[in-house]
Amino acid sequence: MNLMRRLLLSGFFLVLLAGLSAQVKKPVAATPKPVTSKGRNISITLTPLKNCKVYLGSYYGNGRALVDSTLLNDKSQGVFKGDTKLTGGIYFVVTPQLTIQFELLMDAQQQFSIVADTAQKDKAVISGSLDNDLFKTYSEFSVVKGRTRDQLLTEFRHPKSGEDSIRLRNEIIKTEKEVRDYQTNITKKYPSSLLAALFNTMQRPMAPAIPVVNGKADSLYPYRYVKDHFWDDVSFNDNRLLRTPFFEPKLDDYFKTMVPQEPDSIINEIKYFLLSARTGKEIYAYLLTKFTNKYMNPEFMGQDKVFVYLFENFYAKGDTMLLNPASRKVITERAYSLMANQIGQAAPALNLIDTAGKTLPLYNVNAAFTVVAFWDPNCSHCKEEIPKLDSMYKAKWKKYGVAVYSVNIVETEIPAWKRFLAEKSISREWTQVYETKEARTVGEKAGVPNYRQLFDVYKTPTIYLLDKDKRIIAKQLSLEQFDDLIETKRKKQQ
């Protein structure tokens, strides 16, 4: 059984037993103490490989990476050596064919030896490493207890009597408590060890029973309890967490199941994570990048507010040093494209002209709701969506007091634009406008943001829904979602 599987086995006990722990928040574990010895020197004998290069890899977030290599001599011997230490975590040895042989814990000292055979991957011997010694002893213990638990569970499913059922249940609880006590002893005796960090990271609190207070059930208590204890004893500035396969899935699970999906709740959580991770050079940069990528183009409408927050409070205050010039340019331009069109804000002003040259400002449109549609008359998707939008307008939206401010984004396609409107019989009550090349040039020379940036028009069609005061209610939804939203807003108003 490899290291990962054995740790996952231990994870079963951690989850199952979390509900039995005291219902008080545990103190955050101390950051591992620095080690005085410098560099790494990890000797390896890997038979029968000879005169070839082998690699040392590690987990990194949800992925894996090769971090070191050594050339085996004719005696199958080599040394992973360097002037600096590797970040602690779960590592693995990889053959020239890029096949993972076995896993190991990278401790703080990094002065140990490995003897292994490719034909017996599970029998690698690691000497001189306290973390690997701890894990070896623990894994042997947990495997025995795991077999005992499995046998007891099998018997528990078919008890001979009620008394037998109670006995088996008590023995299961006792077995699981023995494993938990073993883990607790390790975290207490070796709080800075990698194994302790792994146990803490893998732990998932179980929801307690719903309490009844003054005769009323507090149904939210289990959620609050799990959320409050989700990260017990985990230090967010511990760079070693990145080199395990447990931290990022737990992080994703937390933001999916524990954090409300509205932007302000997400921002509060991210703020806490990043401030807590600030002194962890690797994990801080990783988390900032992860959150940036996630919310730059978010899954749910309005969550781009999180990305704008990250830009204004981190990148704009100096954290662009984490980025190469190309990434810095992308993030900065994307942020400026989103700042002016956040949900709840007043929409940027539009003063565009119709085909007769008359200026028709967006803010002159008087309606309970205004749909602003940016589209290209030659765009195949627009050719499908704009007639659908017109059908909804004619069937329902017009009588609901909805106005449409329709923007052709290609000033050189006026004939195609007019032809399309005529062929599809698009309502003449829409406000049809565009920006002339001359007006665009004047704006560029003056350094004024154009409507493409102000409304984040990077694809077509791009559609917004505004209220009577031209505040942004919604953007980038499907027409069906816009329709549902208008119906909901109308009912609330009524």
User: Are residues 269 and 408 located together in one domain of the fold?
Assistant: no
Query: Of 181, 202, 223, which residue constitutes the final position of a domain?
Result: 202
User: Which candidate, 33, 98, 86, 95, places its Cα nearest to that of 58?
Assistant: 86
The band of 161, judged by pLDDT with boundaries at 50, 70 and 90, is: confident
* Angstrom distance (rounded) from CA 465 to CA 387: 17
Residues paired with residue 79 on neighbouring β-strands, in sequence order: 43
* Angstrom distance (rounded) from CA 236 to CA 280: 8
345 in a domain, yes or no?
no
User: Are residues 103 and 198 located together in one domain of the fold?
Assistant: yes
Let me know if 349 is exposed, middle or buried by CB neighbors in 10 A (0-12, 13-18, 19+).
exposed
Contact in structure between 72 and 78 (CB atoms under 8 Å): yes
User: Are residues 138 and 253 located together in one domain of the fold?
Assistant: no
Q: Which residues contact 233 (CB under 8 A, 6 or more apart)?
A: 26, 27, 28, 29, 187, 200, 203
SS3 490: helix
Look at residue 30 and tell me whether its pLDDT is greater than 80. no
Residue-wise pLDDT tens digits, 407-430: 999 999 899 999 999 999 999 999
Contact in structure between 194 and 131 (CB atoms under 8 Å): yes
Compute the half-sphere exposure of residue 471: CA atoms within 13 Å on the CB side of its CA: 5
* Angstrom distance (rounded) from CA 378 to CA 416: 7
pLDDT at 204: 86
100 in a domain, yes or no?
yes
User: Are residues 17 and 159 located together in one domain of the fold?
Assistant: yes
DSSP 8-state code for residue 106: E
Is beta strand 462-466 parallel, antiparallel or unpaired with respect to 472-475? antiparallel
Compute the half-sphere exposure of residue 168: CA atoms within 13 Å on the CB side of its CA: 18
252 in a domain, yes or no?
yes
Residue-wise pLDDT tens digits, 183-215: 889 999 999 899 999 999 988 888 889 988 888
User: How big is the CA angle at 429 (ends 428 and 434), to the nearest 5 degrees?
Assistant: 75
Tell me which amino acid residue 228 is. D
Residues paired with residue 41 on neighbouring β-strands, in sequence order: 81
Look at residue 26 and tell me whether its pLDDT is greater than 60. no
The band of 158, judged by pLDDT with boundaries at 50, 70 and 90, is: confident
Residue-wise pLDDT tens digits, 462-483: 999 999 999 999 998 999 999 9
Contact in structure between 403 and 369 (CB atoms under 8 Å): yes
pLDDT at 20: 25
* Angstrom distance (rounded) from CA 44 to CA 405: 70
Domain of residue 36: give its range.
1-202
Residue-wise pLDDT tens digits, 242-252: 999 999 999 99
User: Are residues 331 and 403 located together in one domain of the fold?
Assistant: no
Count how many domains the chain has. 3
User: Are residues 438 and 374 located together in one domain of the fold?
Assistant: yes
Residue-wise pLDDT tens digits, 328-384: 899 999 999 999 999 999 999 999 999 889 999 999 999 999 999 999 999 999 999
SS3 66: strand
Find tokens 């929409």 and name the residue: 347
pTM check: above 0.85: no
Q: Kindly list the strands in the beta sheet with 120-127, ordered across the sheet, starting from the edge strand earlier in the chain.
A: 77-82, 40-47, 113-117, 120-127
H-helix or E-strand spanning residue 124? strand 120-127
* Angstrom distance (rounded) from CA 54 to CA 94: 6
Identify the residue with better confidence: 160 or 474: 474
H-helix or E-strand spanning residue 212? strand 212-213
User: Are residues 325 and 217 located together in one domain of the fold?
Assistant: yes
The band of 17, judged by pLDDT with boundaries at 50, 70 and 90, is: very low
388: domain CATH number is 3.40.30.10
151 in a domain, yes or no?
yes
Residue-wise pLDDT tens digits, 64-103: 999 999 999 999 999 999 999 999 999 999 999 999 999 9
Query: Of 149, 178, 202, which residue constitutes the final position of a domain?
Result: 202
Residues paired with residue 351 on neighbouring β-strands, in sequence order: 361
